Amino acid sequence: MHPLLDALLRPVDRDDPASVDLDLVQRLAGPLERFGDRWYGLQADGWEHLPKRPVLIVGNHNAGSAFLEALAASAKAVRRGHTSITGLAHDAVIDAPLVGRLLARVGAVRAGHASAARAFDAGRQVVVFPGGNLEAFRRWSHRDRIVLGGRTGFVRLALRHGVDIVPWVFDGGHSSFFVLRDGRRFAKAIRADRWLRSDTWPLYLGLPWGVAFGPWPHLPLPVKVRCRFLPSIPVSAHSPEAIDDPDVVQALYYDVERALQQGLDRLRTEDP
């Protein structure tokens, strides 16, 4: 059976980082990198800030639920020898019948502290986009803003495991569709946070739907995308017990949020 077909059909533990198929990762890295280069003109830099040791990579979430530029950028990382990356994926994505299986084979796990802990214990790096769908479906007019939503769980995760935080900033992908409203009130009314873990129910213009109402994937327009790894934010100076210190947690949260916003501002003002 072809490796890709096998990855789509064979059952997989979507909570276990050991489910990754490194041979499949290497096979797909080249095509994914070429897709990013051709469709997005993807530029990635800051590789000197990405170590090989376990770290928590924290990014801003663009482009809705698909976020294909993150896959393409991850492929670039693999092509540069960073093959120990585990991504934390939303339930709705990792539980998808075919796509979820494929993602688990290439290094994604269900988002949660338990699966992240297993990844760190295995010596892997963990990628998280804490803004989630709140940031992924922010209005088009807010595409130049970092929206982490006050979610500090990633800080506690880094403190618990004593790993530094590496901010990873993306720019461009949020122009691949046009979010008119984020629909937070509607999402709350239908309790989407309970059955879909979604804080938004966006109204947007995008392919292939034309007009869409809901957090559905879209086909991105071929917009220019750039991403950059930023200098790490050290966590090792704090003990694991600092997870119970709100001042430490908030200070680190704001350090990451500020680094991402400053990084995004720089990317948006630099020449392509």
Mean pLDDT of the chain: 93
Angle formed at CA 85 by CA 57 and CA 156, multiple of 5 degrees: 40
Contact 263, 144 (CB under 8 A): no
Query: Percent of the chain scored above 70 by pLDDT?
Result: 99
pLDDT at 20 over 60: yes
pLDDT at 271 over 80: no
Residues 6+ apart with CB under 8 A from 177: 63, 64, 140, 204, 205, 206, 207, 218, 220, 221
C-alpha torsion angle, residues 158, 161, 163, 166 (rounded to 10)? -30
Average pLDDT of 86-91? 92
Residues 6+ apart with CB under 8 A from 41: 224, 225, 272
pLDDT range class, residue 11, cuts 50, 70, 90: confident
- Specify the pLDDT at position 93: 86
pLDDT at 100 over 60: yes
DSSP 36: I
Q: How many C-alpha atoms does 66 have within 13 Å on its Cβ side?
A: 17
Digit-coded pLDDT (tens) for 134-162: 999 999 999 999 999 999 999 999 999 99
- Specify the pLDDT at position 77: 96
Alpha-carbon distance of 126 to 108, in angstroms, equals 9
Which comes out higher in pLDDT, residue 116 or 6?
Answer: 116
First CA to last CA distance, the chain: 43
Angle formed at CA 161 by CA 16 and CA 71, multiple of 5 degrees: 50
- Specify the pLDDT at position 6: 73
Residues 6+ apart with CB under 8 A from 127: 57, 58, 59, 74, 85, 86, 87, 88, 168
Digit-coded pLDDT (tens) for 28-56: 999 999 999 999 999 999 999 999 899 99
Residue with tokens 């109204």: 203
- Specify the pLDDT at position 67: 85
Residue with tokens 């506690």: 156
- Specify the pLDDT at position 272: 64
What are the C-alpha distances in Å from 201 to residues 96, 185, 186, 190? 19, 8, 6, 10
Which comes out higher in pLDDT, residue 1 or 127?
Answer: 127
| Closest to 178 (Cα-Cα) out of 214, 208, 146, 141 | 141
Which comes out higher in pLDDT, residue 129 or 99?
Answer: 129
CATH 3.40.1130 fits domain 3-175+226-269: yes
Look up residue 247 and give its two tokens.
């001042």
Residues 6+ apart with CB under 8 A from 163: 54, 55, 56, 120, 126, 235
Residue with tokens 């989407």: 192
User: What is the model's pTM?
Assistant: 0.94
- The domains of the chain are located at 3-175+226-269
Contact 123, 195 (CB under 8 A): no
pLDDT at 1 over 60: no
Alpha-carbon distance of 172 to 270, in angstroms, equals 13
